[in-house]
Amino acid sequence: MRIGIVNDLMLAVEALRRVVCSVPGYTLAWIARDGQEAVQKCAADRPDIILMDLIMPVMNGVEATRHIMIESPCAILIVTATVQGNISLVFEAMGHGALDVVRTPVLGREGMIEGAADLLAKIEIIGKLTGAVGLTKSRSVSAAEAPPASLGAISLIVIGSSTGGPAALSAILSRLPGDLDAAIVITQHVDQYFAPELATWLNTRTSLQVKVAEEGSRPIPGTVCLASTNDHLIMTPSRALRYSREPLDCYYRPSVDVFFKSVAEHWPAAGTAVLLTGMGKDGGEGMMALKKAGWYTIAQDEKSSVVFGMPKAAIEMGAASQIVPLTEIAAVLKARLHMYDTSEPGGTASL
């Protein structure tokens, strides 16, 4: 795998170079000292992955990511040490197509590099994604009948997202009212270190309460719960949220498939599932399980997706009840909750 490094700090570049060169099969493609240089070098020599810093002179990592994904797209991993006060930049970069984010490794005493393992784990996952390697060995989903709906059951909306997800989530949540008569649970591919920051960032963009999903918590109407660890979020038979390391062979962490399947198995009433922009196929099998359990399933359309991989996978296997542009998804969700006249365009039957 050929890797490009974009960073203006010599110590950071050296730490990244040592990490990259420590793995057989990984080679350093080039080094850029600012975003503009990165755009130029990527156009001339496109690597397999770029390790992109955020705060740089001339052009920052957000703008560099935007230009690269338009002009010469390739996999971009945001690698930053500057988070405090700049978390919005992380999610802006992911909105333009950066796949994930991780903290910059630090050169320690005696040549040790703190944070190397985290970076290498992210690079490995992205390598598998871009190499179209099968990532999961998920159990087959039985075509079981939908569980019976119980009177007074909470309406539940589940959302899965990855590349471009933060901006897409913001677009949906900002269009929903604070008194929404449904609970929302989100599985977004993001490192656990940045999940709380993503919840905080989304909180500033919606009237709903957004918080990280805590072990043992339960979905509450008007509240958005966000998966917040590198383990998988699952729904238990008691309808509580829990984190699980299993399945270990699933490289998407947290996995949309794992969460959706657990909801299909344990939530007592059919709700609405949404699969948003993202690279890979995570979420397709889980959405099919929900559809077979009687859920209404929505896939984001290709035109509004930063990367169409995840919604496309669901659509191709027949798991999507409806394909919807990003700007209209919130309206469909409200229509299904009878929050306005369902005879309007896009209106459908209730949950």
Does residue 95 fall inside a structural domain? yes
pLDDT at 110 over 50: yes
Domain identity same for 122 and 160: no
pLDDT value of position 144:
31
**Model pLDDT for residues 40-91, shown as the tens digit of each residue:** 999 999 999 999 999 999 999 999 999 999 999 999 999 988 666 678 888 8
**First and final CA of the chain: distance in angstroms?**
47
What amino acid occupies position 265? E
Is 69 domain-assigned?
yes
Largest CA distance in the chain: 69
Q: How many residues are recorded in the chain? A: 351
pTM for the model: 0.76
> In this structure, is the dihedral angle defined by the CA atoms of residues 160, 164, 166 and 171, taken in order, positive or negative?
negative
CA distance 77 to 182: 34
Q: Clarify whether residues 47 and 184 are in a common domain.
A: no
Q: What is the pLDDT of residues 271-323, one digit of tens each?
A: 999 999 998 899 999 999 999 999 999 999 999 999 999 999 999 999 999 99
- pLDDT for the residue 292: 95
Asked if 75 and 14 sit in the same domain, the reply is: yes
* Minimum mean pLDDT range among 46-60, 139-153, 210-224, 242-256: 139-153
- Report the distance separating Cα 246 and Cα 244, nearest Å: 5
Contact present, 100 and 122 (Cβ < 8 Å): yes
6 assigned to some structural domain: yes
Sorted by sequence, the CB contacts under 8 Å of residue 53 that are 6+ apart come out as 6, 7, 8, 9, 12, 61, 78, 79, 80, 104
Measured between alpha carbons, how far is 33 from 314 in angstroms, rounded to an integer? 40
The rounded distance, in Å, linking the Cα atoms of 149 and 294 is 10
Residue 162 is predicted with a pLDDT of 93
Average pLDDT value for residue range 143-160: 58
pLDDT at 141 over 60: no
Query: What total number of domains does the chain contain?
Result: 2
- Tokens 């929505």 correspond to 298
- Residue 56 · residue 31 · CB < 8 Å: no
Q: Look at residue 253 and tell me if it is in a domain.
A: yes
Query: Looking at the structure, do residues 67 and 169 belong to the same domain, yes or no?
Result: no
78/185 same-domain check:
no
Task: Report which of 164, 98, 134, 161 is spatially closest to residue 299, judged by C-alpha positions.
Answer: 161
Per the domain annotation, does 143 fall within a domain? Answer: no
CATH number at residue 257: 3.40.50.180
Q: Is 139 among the domain residues?
A: no
- Same structural domain for residues 117 and 233? no
103 plus 176 within the same structural domain? no
The answer to whether residue 148 sits within a structural domain is no
Q: Give the C-alpha separation, 59 to 40, whole Å.
A: 12
List, by residue number, the catalytic residues: 162, 189, 282
- Alpha carbon distance 212, 194 (integer Å): 11
CA distances from 311 to 22, 152, 159, 201 (A): 36, 31, 12, 24
CATH number, domain of 87, equals 3.40.50.2300
The C-alpha angle 146, 224, 196, rounded to 5 degrees, equals 130
In this structure, are strands 241-244 and 232-235 parallel, antiparallel, or unpaired?
Answer: antiparallel
* Single-letter amino acid, residue 294: G
Do residues 228 and 192 lie in contact, with contact meaning Cβ atoms separated by under 8 Å?
yes
Distance in angstroms (rounded) separating the CA atoms of residues 300 and 54: 28
Identity (one letter) of the amino acid at 112? M
C-beta neighbour count of 222 within 10 angstroms:
16
Partner residues linked to 298 by β-bridges: 274, 322
Q: Which residues pair with 30 in a beta bridge?
A: 4
Together in a domain, 79 and 196 = no
- The reply to whether 144 falls in a domain is no
Do residues 220 and 259 both lie within one domain?
yes
Q: Are residues 188 and 223 in the same domain?
A: yes
Q: Per-residue pLDDT averaged across 118-139, rounded? A: 66
Whether residue 100 sits in one domain with residue 66:
yes
Q: Are residues 86 and 179 in the same domain?
A: no
Residue 314, domain extent: 156-336
What's the rounded mean pLDDT across residues 105-109?
A: 82
Q: Is the pLDDT of residue 137 over 50?
A: no
Across 189-202, average pLDDT:
89
